Amino acid sequence: MVEQVPDGSAPLVEKIFRDFAQRIETRELAPGARLPSVRQLSAQLGVSVFTVVNAYDRLVATGRVNSRRGAGFFVASHQPEQLLPSRRGDRELPDSALELFTQAVNHDLYKMAPGSGYLPTKWGEDAIAPATWAKVARRPESMRASPPQGMSALRDQLAIRCRQNGIDTKGDDIVTTYGGAHAFELICTSVLCPGDVVFVEDPGFFLLPVQIQQHGMQIVGVPRLADGPDVDRLEELAAKHRPRAFFTQTLLHNPVGGSTSATKCHRILSLAERFDFLVVEDDVYGEFAENRTARLAQMDSFHRVVYVGSFSKVLAPGIRVGFAILPASLKAAFVRKKILSVIGTSSLVELVVAETLATGQLRHHVDALRERIGKARSQAIRALEGAGIEIADKNIEGFFLWGKMPDELDVGDLVRRAHAMGILLAHGGLFSPSGGCQSYLRFSAPSSIDPRLLEFLSDSIRRARTPALRLVNNAY
């Protein structure tokens, strides 16, 4: 629907495309099912081979179908999500990863957002002094086009910060981006190839699998435990699938909360060596770590690790500054894709972030945030446990809590009812590329202590546990 040239008579290509899209959507064609061969279908429909090829190309381009050359076309195991219209006032139910995201950034739709992935806006208000913006805007270079790798003032500051975390790097190794997801995008387009098998964590950051799959890569989930990925399973899966890359969040994992142990870090890198894959280390929450922690980039020194950082969580989501450090052989292609997709990043915004690093403003802000988060986490753990929710791992850092709901409770239904009441909940299923985690919710600690939320949750759990009351839930 969205791919066609608007207006005019829908050509045959469009018809075939729509027909298959619908059959896939309704599961008449199940994930993994093989489509008829091009020649077979062209003969059957009496249309040209090119018409069929074009229709199949669109199915591939929209993520509905994978093409394995020599073998044919197969229904993709993860189907693309439909994007929810984002008009204000709408309040449709987020039942896919993209929808959850769209809802979460439409701030006015919810009274409460314990399912949001961001810290409360108020917590970021003093992150950057307004005067800093004016000061930096007075510098002529803030208005110039940025160099392809990003502003060197920022890259030099980032290198200092990385070295403080034990990561051996320098400004010239760093490439800035519009946040972490933009770095992942450039990795997908410059390092990975369509058809590559890519490992992600299960559960993990919910947009990542969708982002990788849209480029024609195949996703395999590696179970994520409290102390890092299940490395035995990683070994089995690597031997079986020979992945090109493994995306992993070492510190303060989203959604499970825990950090990967140093032992597991070592094991992951050994497996990467043995099975010849890249490790993409997503470190967007690492600044919030209080304990002495290890990072993969620190151990590997950029032989196999691509390191990704961002200021969306530690400064503010409205900033959009992130960065990547890649093995030397991959940098030029990454920069090339940066130029050819966005030309460059914002000189002014990068200079402002550099300023918050250089003056220590960022450090103070993060220290204060860390303390606030710690308090909120203790409070939220108590509150959610009091409501009857089991917190999967309490010995964690950061602001996410991974809550296991009682088995008797239909969590999908709970999310729907919450939504109708103006409460955004993040269903665990959205974080699992294999469709697991259905009885989990991800809570953002600072937004999970409102008495109305807790009452709603405890009430729902109580009803679910009392068979006679179960029907009452449905009447909500």
CA 317 to CA 118: how far, in whole Å? 7
Please return the burial class of 135, using the count of CB atoms within 10 Å of its CB with bins 0-12, 13-18 and 19+: middle
Nearest CA-CA partner of 290 in 223, 375, 220, 358: 375
Q: Which stretch binds its own copies (CB under 8 A): 129-137, 223-231, 364-372, 413-421?
A: 129-137
Contact at 8 Å (CB) between 76 and 64? yes
Please report whether residue 138 would count as binding its own copies according to CB under 8 A: yes
Q: Is residue 451 a contact point for its own copies (CB under 8 A)? A: no
Residue 144 in contact with its own copies, rule: CB under 8 A: yes
CB atoms inside a 10 Å sphere around CB 29: 19
Which residue lies nearer to its own copies by CB, 210 or 381?
210
Which residues within the stretch 402-431 sit at the binding site for its own copies (CB under 8 A)? none
Q: Is 218 in the site for its own copies (CB under 8 A)?
A: no
Query: Which range, of 50-58, 223-231, 232-240, 381-389, touches its own copies by CB under 8 A?
Result: 50-58
Per CB under 8 A, does 368 bind its own copies? no
Q: Are residues 259 and 397 in contact, defined by beta-carbon separation less than 8 angstroms?
A: yes
Cα–Cα distance measured from residue 441 to residue 443, given in angstroms and rounded to the nearest whole number? 6
Among 12, 342, 358, 449, binds its own copies (CB under 8 A): 342
Among 161, 336, 417, 470, binds its own copies (CB under 8 A): 336
One-letter amino acid identity for 141? E
Cβ 50 to its own copies, closest distance in Å? 7
Q: How near is the Cβ of 449 to its own copies at its closest, in Å?
A: 21
* Cis? peptide before 114, omega within 30° of 0: no
| Of 54, 379, 458, 473, the one binding its own copies by CB under 8 A | 54
| 197 is a site residue for its own copies (CB under 8 A) | no
Query: How are beta strands 245-248 and 197-202 bridged, if at all?
Result: parallel
Q: Under the criterion CB under 8 A, does residue 195 sit at the interface with its own copies? A: yes
| Residue 435 found at the interface with its own copies (CB under 8 A) | no
Interaction between residue 40 and its own copies (CB under 8 A): no
Closest CA to 249 of 237, 265, 233: 265
Determine, following the binding rule CB under 8 A, whether residue 85 of this chain makes contact with its own copies. yes
What is the amino acid identity at position 252? L
339 is a contact residue toward its own copies (CB under 8 A): yes
Min CB(122)–its own copies separation in Å: 7
Is 248 a binding residue for its own copies by CB under 8 A? The answer is no
CA–CA separation, 267 vs 77, rounded Å? 29
Does 107 participate in binding its own copies (rule CB under 8 A)? yes
Determine if 182 is a binding residue for its own copies (CB under 8 A).
yes
Among 349, 362, 369, 405, binds its own copies (CB under 8 A): 349
3-state secondary structure of 347: helix
Min CB(457)–its own copies separation in Å: 25
User: Is residue 148 near its own copies by the rule CB under 8 A?
Assistant: yes
Judged by CB under 8 A, the stretch of 161-169, 206-214, 228-236, 362-370 that binds its own copies is 206-214
| Rounded Cα–Cα distance for residues 343 and 362 (Å) | 28
User: By CB under 8 A, what part of segment 254-313 binds its own copies?
Assistant: 273, 276-278, 303-304, 312
We find the least distance from the C-beta atom of residue 200 to its own copies, in angstroms, to be 14
Distances (CA, A) of 62 to 17, 18, 140: 10, 12, 43
- Residue 74 binds its own copies (CB under 8 A): no
Identify which range of 81-89, 157-165, 403-411, 460-468 contacts its own copies by CB under 8 A. 81-89
Helix (H, G, I), strand (E, B) or coil at 34: strand
Q: Which two tokens stand for residue 322?
A: 């992130």
Question: What is the C-alpha radius of gyration for the chain, rounded to an integer number of angstroms?
Answer: 23
Of 397, 316, 396, 326, nearest in space to 356 by CA? 316
Q: In what order do the strands lie in the sheet with 174-177?
A: 174-177, 322-325, 305-310, 278-282, 245-248, 197-202, 218-225, 228-229
Q: Is 327 in the site for its own copies (CB under 8 A)?
A: yes
